[in-house]
């Protein structure tokens, strides 16, 4: 598959990105009375670095991270991995929360987003070991609409100063995305999109406003790989630890995945490769961001590029299975 444009920025990126959430290691979110896990369990930093470099060798040049992921740890690992090939890669990161790099605790605080934006950007640059960020994304998806205009305007200043090349918003809310879409250097919206959770309104906005559609949770946090069973559980340090595949919702999800298996694995694809192919078939602007912890996962995801998008018949089959018009 040919490279795609990062929206109106005209930056060329691979049609598949790598989501760097899982390589952040252990960290917690304090958005309620008690901290809860924000990561995906323990990681091997050396393996993470080898895997990122392997992804570049396989033709993947787009990497998405955030200050939240490991409270800076993911950014540092990504920066180390691409230090000698910075010009070959496109780095996206995010801001908008308060992180403590020592305690590994993140907390939301909308009241300081604008005041902290410049210092947050400097911290992102420091951890990544670079002097510019290709795509800088707002990470607070439900931020106040009116105040978001001030955030957008300050991001425009950072573009003029050369700190960032373009910006976007990581949000599932179309009305929030519309605010940023009015900015000259807004290039993308990041939102959840996968076989089970379609997002036609957001896809239409990206098309109308010449924005890249960056897609988080393309494999539904691993569910669409088909590897989970009713007995699958997660550790207390895993963000998915509350998932229950023996409950009604969990059982229904497993049934959906099983029903989709045949069409997703058509033409020799794995279930994960079929899930990525569905996203590419939804729009020529989509860039899915599967996560990774090891080289095998990146090899499998990169292998989806050789198959390309699903065809119209396969897409219709999926809509029929899921009861979508």
Cα–Cα nearest to 296, from 17, 7, 54, 16: 54
How far apart are alpha carbons 133 and 127 in whole angstroms? Answer: 11
Distances in whole angstroms, Cα of residue 118 to Cα of each of 14, 32, 115, 177, 187: 29, 27, 7, 21, 20
Question: 69 catalytic, yes or no?
Answer: yes
How far apart are alpha carbons 26 and 105 in whole angstroms? Answer: 10
Categorise residue 25: left if φ over 0, alpha if ψ from -120 to 50, beta otherwise: left
The residues annotated as belonging to the active site are: 69
């Amino acid at each position: 598959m040919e490279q795609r444009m990062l929206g109106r920025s005209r930056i060329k990126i691979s049609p598949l990105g790598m989501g760097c959430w899982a390589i952040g290691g252990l960290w917690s979110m304090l958005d309620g009375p008690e901290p809860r896990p924000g990561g995906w369990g323990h990681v091997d930093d050396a393996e993470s670095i080898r895997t990122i470099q392997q992804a570049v060798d396989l033709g993947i040049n787009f990497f998405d991270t955030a200050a939240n992921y490991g409270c800076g740890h993911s950014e540092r690992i990504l920066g180390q991995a691409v230090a000698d090939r910075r010009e070959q890669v496109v780095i996206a990161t995010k801001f908008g929360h308060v992180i403590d790099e020592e305690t590994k605790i993140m907390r939301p605080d909308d009241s300081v987003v604008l005041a902290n934006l410049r210092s947050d950007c400097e911290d992102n640059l420091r951890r990544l070991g670079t002097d510019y960020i290709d795509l800088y994304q707002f990470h607070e998806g439900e931020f106040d609409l009116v105040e978001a205009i001030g955030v957008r305007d300050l991001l425009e200043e950072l573009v003029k100063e050369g700190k960032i090349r373009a910006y976007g918003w990581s949000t599932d809310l179309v009305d929030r995305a519309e605010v940023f879409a009015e900015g000259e250097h807004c290039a993308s919206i990041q939102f959840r999109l996968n076989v089970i959770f379609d997002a036609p309104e957001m896809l239409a906005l990206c098309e109308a406003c010449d924005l890249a559609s960056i897609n988080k949770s393309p494999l539904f946090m691993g569910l669409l790989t088909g590897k989970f069973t009713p007995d699958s559980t997660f550790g207390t340090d895993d963000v998915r630890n509350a998932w229950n595949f023996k409950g009604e919702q969990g059982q229904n999800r497993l049934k959906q995945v099983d029903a989709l298996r045949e069409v997703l694995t058509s033409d020799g694809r794995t279930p994960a490769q079929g899930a990525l192919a569905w996203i590419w078939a939804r729009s020529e602007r989509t860039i899915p961001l599967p996560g990774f912890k090891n080289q095998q996962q990146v090899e499998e995801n990169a292998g989806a590029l050789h198959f390309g998008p699903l065809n119209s018949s396969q897409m219709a089959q999926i809509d029929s299975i899921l009861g979508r018009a």
